[in-house]
Structure formats: structure tokens, C-alpha cells
Structure 1
Amino acid sequence: MSHGEGLRQSQEAVIGKTQKTNSIQQIRYACSIAALHSACAIPRVIPITHCGPGCADKQFMNVAFYNGFQGGGYGGGAVVPSTNATEKEVVFGGMERLRELIAASLEVLEADLFVVLTGCISDLVGDDVGSVVKEFQLRGVPIVYAETGGFKGNNFTGHELVTRAIIDQFVGDDEGPRDSGVVNVWSLLPFHNTFWRGDLAEMKRILEGVGLQVNILFGHESRGVAEWKGIPRAQFNLVLSPWLGLETAEHLQEKYGQPYLHVPVIPIGAKQTSAFLRQVVEFAGLDREKAEQFIQKEENTYYRYLEDFSDFYAEYWWGLPAQFAVIGDSAYNLALTKFLVNQLGVIPGKLIITENPPERFREGIREQFRTIADDVSVEVEFEEDSWRIHQLIRQTYFGHKPPIIFGTTWERDLVKELKGAIVEVGFPASYEVVLSRSYVGYRGALTLLEKIYTTTVSASA
């Protein structure tokens, strides 16, 4: 038996074992309790975790640290209180331990809202976390809870659970009048998306530019719980993602009778962003003339920068990648593919979605890729295991030029093997330091172009 044949059989054995055990190599999401980042992404909100020792710290190190080195902010990182449940809590229950932790947290921490999240231990032993939290709610403490044990799903699932908990337990009922021109934005997953802070800031900027008042809800541009309290009075909800936030918008429609607009593709670049803004203006009934003035101003600035860029592109086009692959969550995967195909003319080689979106949304996501351009239709694959993902990339024919891969830190060795270039665009991104960088909208697209072609030129040096 040759070495190659032996290696192939060994790999097949590994695959068979993986199928039997459902193990996943080099995971690209976290467990449900990692939605503690959705809580601390709201200014002056602090999560409290009722889970085993190390769970909260691992979520921070994975999702917020080795993912753009984003930091923990006011309520994340080392600030997060945890019961650090042990065998005692497994045998006798952890409700008293949680009660003590909440009381101690109130003494030493200042927050506009506390969000209690549960882990696997408390959910499995059946701790009645709701009753403990209720005790504090009756005393006027701003606190809610969400059951986010790991078996509930990943951090995308946990995000929806946390947002719904805040809406139902903190925002509550509201029959007040609607404020015309106000929108609630539901889009990227905080912290998991490496560039969420800058992206949400750009989304707010361009929506305000066409005449809306924006509740961006997460990040430094949010007014914190004041925005959340104002959710019921918004004119409508905007879901700007392939699927994340749709369940929240559906719940708000049922709870408050609010309509919502679903735009699956996050816009990157002038063409896509202008079309997006016009769609929002039409839905919201805004002043079209005022909106067009903003759009034209943004487009003029954008294309002036592209005119400068054209000298480089015309000179070095022969050395630039002709094909690309995107490995990441559906939101960025779809947005990047739309931009690269429609505005740069690069050919899609392989597109792999990694966050395990719910089955009911998958056909809609596939259809978006099938209509990526008037004359381009691509099939997308859903895969979570990095070994399988890398095999799919190795089996892809990228033509006579090395490809550019939009992926994560997990792809760095693979890209060296392919002699290509890599742009880290998702979790984990351990070779990027991210403060306020954005890749969406008008301004973000220019930053993305800088990143793509600086990476390409550097890789060929």
C-alpha cells in the first residue's frame, strides 16, 4: 500500500468516526450562552451567567478576544459575574447560589439592565431561574433571564433568546403612539461578527442620511436601554441579514403590530447600498428627494475614490486573483459574494456557510445565491466541520491563478498550501486587530477594497 493510499484510508476512517460521533473540527461558532455578548453589546448592560466554572471566560476568549481582539467593553470580559457551579450545585441545585450572586452583583456593579443567562448545568438540573429573577424584578431591579444551555443551540440561537427576553421581560407592553420615521435595526451578531461595531455604525449613518431615526440597539452608537424601551413605538423593524433577527421581527409584529422589512443582503459598495436605501425609503414613505440628495453625495464621493483606485487596477489586473471562495456565516458570505461578483467582476469558486442556520431559512438563502447577478447563479454549501470545508476547497478548480480566500484563521495554512491570499472576515480572526473597521455600506466598501488588494499585493511579494 502506498503512503498516499494509506493516508486516504486513514482520512476516510476519520470521516466515518466523525459521522458517528457528530464531532466537529475547528468550530466556527460558540454555544448558546455566548449570547452573553449580545447583552454586553448594549451600553451599560451586564450579563450574569449561571453556569459551570470557566464557561463565561471561554466565551470571552473565543468570541471577543481571539476574534479581532475586540475587548470586553463595559459589561463583558472579566466583568461578567458567574456562579461557577460545581458538584454541589449539580446535586442540590444552584438557585441559592444564583440568588447570592445577583445580590452581590447589585452591590458592586452599576448597570441599566442585568441579563441572567443559564448554562448546561442549571438547565439540566432544572433550576427555576425564572423564580429567582422574579424576586428581584418585584423589587424593581432591572433584570431579565434567558435559558441558554448549550443544547438549545449555538450563539445565534442564544442571541434570539436574549433579545426576546429583554423585549418581553423589560420592554413589556406598550400601546403608545407610533413615531413616524423611526426604525429598529436587527442585523449582525455582536462580537461574533468581527466588524460588527463599525458595520452597525455605518448602517446607522446611511439610514439617518435618508431621513430615518435609527434604533441601532447594539454597539457604541446605541443609546442603550432607552433605545430598547423605544422599540414598540418605532414605525417599523428592519431585518438586514439572511435570517438572523427574523424571529425577533415576527415576534414584534405579533406583540406590537409592527410591520417589518426583510432585506437579506447586507449592502457593500455604491450599487448595492444605493439600491438598499431606495428600498427602505419606499417602504418607510420617506422624502425621496431628500434621500436622493444624500445618495448622490455618497455615490459621488465613492466613485471619486474608485477613480483613483483604477490606476492601480489597470496596471496590476494581470496579477490579481480571478476567482474567490468565501467561508463564513451567511450574512457576510452573501454580502461579500454580491459585492465581489457585481462590482469587482471576480468569479465565485466555492461558497460555504458555516453557522448552521435553521432549516426553514436555508432554501431562501440558497435562492439569494442563485440570483447573485443577472447572469451569475451559484450553489452554496452548508458545512460546519473545518476538515470537510478544507477538503471542499482543495477539490475546487480555481483556474490558473491562485485564489483569494475570504475566511478565518482556520484557513491560513490551507491558503499557504494553495499559494493564494487570505482575508479574515469572520470568527475566529486571530490575525486582525479591529477597533471600528467596517466593510459595509459606502465607506466600508472602500476599506474592504484596501484590505483585499493590499493583501493580494503582499501575498505576491
Structure 2
Amino acid sequence: DLSRWLPCQSRCELAGAASLFLSIKNSSILINGPRWCAMVAEREMAAAEKKYEKQMFCSEVKEVDLLYGADEAMQSALDEIKNEQKPDLIAVLNSCSVSLIGDDLKGICKSADMGCPVIPMDSGGLRGEFWHGYQIAAQKLLESLNLKTDRKRKNNKVNIIGWCTAYPNWLGDLLEIKRMLQKINIEVGICFGADGVAMKDLEELPEAALNVVLHPELGLNAVEFLKERLGQEYVIAPIPYGMQNSLQWLQKITAALNMQPDFSAIENEIAYNQEKIDTAIFQLKANNKNISFGNAYLCLTQGMAMGIVKALVSEFPDLNDIYLRLEGPVESSIMSEIFCLTREWKGYSDKHIRKNYLDLVLGNTQTRVEAANYKNTVFMNVLLPYQGVVVHERPYAGITGWKFLLADIFDKFQTLAYLNPVVEDDRIC
């Protein structure tokens, strides 16, 4: 299997680093490389947030620069940023080609008089993928901050670590998570990686009593850095999906904070919504007695998989087997519980297709093409990259998000069931 030697099999390290730095309010990104690399990265970032296009610049390195050095091209681009943007932060990201020539990136950035912090980063895709770039960028950004250890902490305040505006539904999911936390009197401080966080705001990171890691593939190294630097504790609580799983997620965080809040409002909300969901499931089965859900095929990141798998096992109607393939870094110790509930999915095959069953496929558009069996699969795009009209405000996580996710899945199920009439001989006994 030679695929492991490929330099980048999905979105590259440069895109991951850019996604974090662009989330900082009034930041600018200089891609130190050819125009082609900048155009690809700009297209990917603009798909997440259109305004990011105006924050990205390119040194437009040419062939002669690759031979004799790109320092003049980079300095010219830095001057352009200073004159046009006057940013609060500049990140200089080397592309693959410039990474090979060995320019003194740190020295050039240090000597440049930009009037704001300049963070250099060698982010060529020859070394890693999106998540690796995000992690390195997070480390460098935190190291550049003047985080004070003597700031007073609030016992009921948490930071959210490991968030990304390139993930589908990032805004709606974040709003729902904040809503649930605030409903049990937990204050949310900094959401590291969410759009619009100012450099000055990041100085408030030490005020939280706990850092909550929602996507370990993005935020685990950041919370370990904060624990070492500030003595701040953290809890790995991947993004919650489902009703009871959302309640258990909240209970895990309150236990880490040594809080004993009143969960009655949350429990009443869950009971109210669960009754509606149970009715919808009953109607779905009653209207489709001869066809049902089959297997689930999931291609997800670690943080998403932990929440979605638990919800599918405990709160989804009558799935058979769950096949899982993980994108990005994986901590086996964190995933051990999930691995016991799933089987490894190496690829979709016609042998999995059975009469009178509609399989559930969760992933991205590449996963959908791989699954291929459009007639018998209910597909949801929950993983980057996303194609089509992006509605970040629509949640799939938490209590509200589970209703939206089930509504979308059931709607597609009904459509496919109508398009797949069951003949008499095929009916399930």
C-alpha cells in the first residue's frame, strides 16, 4: 500500500493553518509561494467564509525566486499588507515549493517592521494534512500571546478549544453548544478557532476554570500547552449529538468543574422533544413497513465520530452494523469505546447492498462518490469539504441539532423509499 507515502491525500497543511489564523479578527495571511497555491487555498477558505478572500495575500514566487531566494518577493508582499490592511496579526505560510529552498523565513519576518505580531510557519503539504497544519498554527499562536498566570479564574467559566470555521455547521453547532451550557449557568469564554476572536480577547484565556476540547484532532495539543503554561485543566468532551448524549455531555463538563447545577430545564426540554421524535419514528416505520434503514457507513473526524456513533447506537431507529473510517489524527485511547461499537470501513462495496434496506452514509462529497449507490443510500454531508449552499447557521449538534439532523435524514429516507417500490416477493416478513 503506497498511499501512505503520498504527501497530502486531502486538504493540505497550509489550508489547516490558514483556517485558524483567518478566524482571528483583523488578521492577514501571506502565502509565500506561487499564485497557484494561493488560489487553491483562497478558494477553500472562501467556501468557509467569503470575507476571508480579502485577508489573504500572495508573494507570487516565480521560478527565478525558487533558484535565488524569495526574500524580496516576500518583503514586497508584506509591504502591501501593511499599506492595505494594517492588521493586528500577520501569518506567513510557506507553500511546498518555497519550503524546499531553505529561505530564512523567521529572520525575514523578524526584521520586517509591520507594527503587529508576525508569525512565520513552514506549512508545505509535503509534511502533513489539514489537521496537522491547524495544530501547529494553534501552538504558534498561543506561544505568541502574553498569557498571564495571575488572572483570576471563574469557577463556572469554560473555554471551547478545537473549533474550525471550515467544518460544516460550525456556527449553528457552536450557538447550540453555548445555549446548552448557559442553560445550566456555565459561562463560555473564548472559543478558540471560531470566527471573529480578537487578539486582545485571547488574553482572557486564563480566566476559565476549564478548557473543553470538542475536536481532539484540532485542540488536544493546544490544551496541553495551556495546562503546562497556565496550569489550566481540560476535559475531552467531543461534540455531542442526540438528546441523552447531550445531557451526558453536560454532566461530564459539570463534573469536571465540580458543579452540581439544576438540570431540570434541560431534562424537560429533552422530554418534550423526545416525544416528538418518537412520534416521527413511529410514523416513519408505519408508512414504510417494507423498507427500513440498513447499515451506516461513516467517514468522520475523531471529534465527530465519538458523538455521532453514540447517538446512532442509542437514539437512532434500528440500524444494523456501523462501519467507520476516520479522517485526520486518531488517539486510539480516546477512541477505544467507539471502536467497540463499530467495524472498520475500508470502502463501500456492492456486497453490502441488500434488498429493502436504505443505508446511511455520513461524510463528505468524496465519500458520496465512493459510496456511489445513489438509489439505496441516504447521504449527509457533515465533513469538509462541503459542496453546495453552505448553511453554517443550521446545527446538527446538541438537542436542537439532533432534531434538524433527523428531520433531514428522514426526509431523504421518505424520498428514496418512494423511489424504491418493494415488489411482493421482496417484502420483509
Matched, 1:439 2:396: yes
Matched, 1:71 2:49: yes
Equivalent of 1:322, from 268, 274, 294?
294
Shift of 1:350: 4.6
CA distance in 2, matches of 1:351, 1:59: 32
- Residues 142 and 209 of structure 1: is their aligned pair in 2 closer, same or farther, counting only changes over 3 Å? farther
Alignment coverage as a number of residue pairs:
413
Equivalent of 1:239, from 198, 213, 219?
213
Matched, 1:30 2:1: no
Equivalent of 2:261, from 269, 273, 288?
288
CA distance in 1, matches of 2:140, 2:320: 40
Matched, 1:402 2:371: no
Q: Which amino acid aligns with 1:71?
A: E
Shift of 1:213: 2.3
Is the contact made by 1:31 and 1:150 (CA closer than 8 Å) also made in structure 2? yes
Report the secondary structure of 1:178's partner residue.
Answer: coil
Counterpart position of 1:146? 121
Shift of 1:21: 8.7
CA distance in 2, matches of 1:24, 1:428: 18
1:196-255 deviations in whole A, cap 9, x for unaligned? 2222222222222222222113335x5432332211332221112344311111111111
Counterpart position of 2:422? none
Equivalent of 2:243, from 266, 270, 282?
270
Counterpart position of 2:107? 131
Counterpart position of 1:155? 130
Aligned CA-pair RMSD: 2.7
Unaligned stretches of 5+ in structure 1?
A: 1-17, 372-376, 384-388
CA distance in 2, matches of 1:202, 1:20: 38
Counterpart position of 1:230? 204
Q: Which amino acid aligns with 1:284?
A: L
CA distance in 2, matches of 1:256, 1:41: 23
Shift of 1:307: 5.1
Counterpart position of 1:342? 314
Is the contact made by 1:405 and 1:422 (CA closer than 8 Å) also made in structure 2? yes
Shift of 1:443: 0.8
Matched, 1:306 2:277: yes
Is the contact made by 2:299 and 2:363 (CA closer than 8 Å) also made in structure 1? yes
Shift of 1:317: 5.0
- Residues 154 and 287 of structure 1: is their aligned pair in 2 closer, same or farther, counting only changes over 3 Å? same
Is the contact made by 2:42 and 2:56 (CA closer than 8 Å) also made in structure 1? no
Is the contact made by 1:50 and 1:119 (CA closer than 8 Å) also made in structure 2? yes
Matched, 1:120 2:96: yes
> Where do 4+ consecutive residues of structure 1 move more than 4 Å?
20-25, 397-400
Is the contact made by 2:93 and 2:123 (CA closer than 8 Å) also made in structure 1? yes
Counterpart position of 1:172? 146
Equivalent of 2:191, from 213, 216, 224?
216
CA distance in 2, matches of 1:37, 1:348: 37
- 1:1-20 matches, cutoff 5 A: 19=2
Shift of 1:63: 5.9
Deviates more, 1:440-449 or 1:409-418: 409-418
1:432-457 deviations in whole A, cap 9, x for unaligned? 53231111011111110111111111
- Residues 98 and 162 of structure 1: is their aligned pair in 2 closer, same or farther, counting only changes over 3 Å? same
CA distance in 1, matches of 2:4, 2:136: 28
CA distance in 2, matches of 1:114, 1:294: 44
- Residues 158 and 78 of structure 1: is their aligned pair in 2 closer, same or farther, counting only changes over 3 Å? same
CA distance in 1, matches of 2:133, 2:109: 18
Is the contact made by 1:349 and 1:396 (CA closer than 8 Å) also made in structure 2? no
CA distance in 2, matches of 1:61, 1:397: 36
CA distance in 1, matches of 2:323, 2:71: 46
Is the contact made by 1:238 and 1:260 (CA closer than 8 Å) also made in structure 2? yes
1:315-363 deviations in whole A, cap 9, x for unaligned? 23533313221123232233222111110144353533242425xx135
Is the contact made by 1:183 and 1:235 (CA closer than 8 Å) also made in structure 2? yes
CA distance in 2, matches of 1:172, 1:242: 24
CA distance in 1, matches of 2:45, 2:321: 28
Shift of 1:459: 2.1
CA distance in 1, matches of 2:38, 2:114: 27
Q: Which amino acid aligns with 2:165?
A: P
Structure with the larger strand share: 2
